[in-house]
Structure 1
Amino acid sequence: MSAADDAGHVQHELIGCRVRDIACGGEGALMAVTHEMHDHGRVVDVAHIRPASGVEWSTALGNVRPSRVPVSGAACPVPFEPGTLAPDEAQPLPD
């Protein structure tokens, strides 16, 4: 888990890149990664994804994979690797 700034935002190499949420199969641009406090002081990294519709959703950062379709103009540092989009076991956000 990376250190967060004062607003709770975490730097991540895929911010601005097109990603896939393996929990729901949706794709969009990764807009932010934040730390969220949960039960008993547990901190969870949460990814915020914006699809073309503009309506963002959030998912556990562990559910995020690079997409094979780039966001226009974005130079993403993590290339698509075959097999990374397999529907492996998704990580639900804790209550």
Structure 2
Amino acid sequence: MRWVFGEAYKNLRGSDVDLLTQLQRAKQAGVDLPRLFACCGYDDFILEQSRAFARQCSENEIPLKYVEGPGDHEWSYWDRMIREVLDWLPRTAS
């Protein structure tokens, strides 16, 4: 994330562009949060951030299915994982 945002990265946590902050605010406002799905490869450069996000979602009771597996931050991993995402999605509207 630092290479994307540069020095501004240190100011992102808790800001309007911080995904976890947005989820916490929505939950506190009583918004019915959608179920979320996230996956990350063991060799992905954002693995630790993904694990931290999954842990924070769990601690804040934010619905998240988190999956890790062999792979990197690349299309071959995402192509494999899209099957799991599609199986996870509800088949009918609720």
Answer yes or no: same fold by TM over 0.5. Answer: no
Q: Normalising by structure 2, report the TM-score.
A: 0.22
Larger strand proportion of the pair: 1
Larger helix proportion of the pair: 2
